[in-house]
Amino acid sequence: MGASAADPLPHVHSESDDEDTEQGDDASVDVAAQVRVRKAFLKHYASGADSRSRLLDSAADTLRALAQAIPRTCPGCGVSAVFGGKRCSVTIVTWEQPVIAEIPVGWCTTCKQGCNLLPVQADCVSDSNSGWDLDRAHSGKNVLWWHQSVLQMYDILSFRTRHLSADAFCDAMMNSWERNGISRPSSVSATTLRQRMREALLLYMDCQNVIEDYPEDTITDWPRGALNSCPCCGDSVTCNGLHCGLLQALSYLHDKWRRWRL
C-alpha cells in the first residue's frame, strides 16, 4: 500500500526497529538533543567546513602526486624510458571532486613510441584509447581517468538498488561536487560523464571479472587468501610461478565453459 499524505515516506523495516520494540525504547526524536546538536552545528559550522576542505585538498594532492610521478621505466616493456617535458592534462573523476593532473609523457627507446603512467597504476580506468596512450591525445581532447572507487560505488549501488541508472548517478556525483564547494571543470559536462562512464564501467567490470576468475598466485605478488583459492581442491596454498598459474587459470576457465555448455 502507498504512503498517506501524512506519512509521505514509506517506513523501511530494519533490525533496529526490532531492538527498539524489544527494549521498549521510544523511537521519537529527543527534542532537547536535537536542539543541542543544531546549536553545535551552527556554532562550529566554519571549523567543520574547514576540516572537509582540508580532507578534500589532501585527497586531491595525493592523487595528483601519484598520477604526476615520472615512471622510472616504461610501463609496457619495463625498460628505462626517456621522459621529456611534454605533459598531458587529465581529469581524474572521483565521487567527492574532479582532480586535474598534468601527466608526464615520455619516449621509450625500446618500444620506439611514447609512454606514460597507465591509469591502472593510479587505481583508475580510462574510457578512451587516448586516455591510455597520452602521446596520441589530440590537443583540446578532454582526457578522463575514472577512479576505480567511484566505479566500485556505482557497481555496488546498482546491484543493491537494482534500478540506479548511470545518468542518475552522474547527476548525483556532480551534485556532490557542488555541495563540497568544487566547481565543475570545463573538461567535464553532464553529457560527457553520462556517455563516457558506461565505457569506463564496462572496462572496470571486465577487469574485476578477470581477477575473480583467476586462481590464486597467478599474478605476481598475489594477495594470498584475499580472493580465490585453488579451483581444484580449495587449498589456499598453491604453487608459485606465472606459467603454472596460467595453466591453472586456463584449466579453470575451460571447466567453467564446459559446465555452462552442459
pTM of the model: 0.70
The per-residue pLDDT string of the chain (262 residues; one tens digit each, 9 = 90 and over) reads 444 444 444 444 445 445 444 444 555 678 888 899 999 999 898 888 899 999 999 999 999 999 988 877 888 788 887 777 788 999 999 999 999 999 998 888 888 888 888 999 999 999 988 899 898 887 667 899 999 999 999 999 988 888 888 889 999 999 999 999 998 888 788 888 888 998 999 999 988 887 776 655 555 555 544 444 444 444 444 444 444 455 555 565 656 555 555 5
- Taking the C-alpha atoms of residue 217 and residue 232, their distance in angstroms, rounded to an integer, is 14
- Taking the C-alpha atoms of residue 259 and residue 262, their distance in angstroms, rounded to an integer, is 5
Task: With H, G, I as helix, E, B as strand and everything else as coil, classify residue 88.
Answer: strand
The values of phi and psi at residue 144, to 5°, are -115, 135
Q: Which three cell numbers stand for residue 102?
A: 598534468
Task: With H, G, I as helix, E, B as strand and everything else as coil, classify residue 224.
Answer: coil
Q: Which three cell numbers stand for residue 125?
A: 580506468
> How does DSSP assign 159-221, residue by residue?
HHHS---HHHHHHHHHHHHHHTTPPPPTT--HHHHHHHHHHHHHHHHHHHHHHHHSPTTSSTT
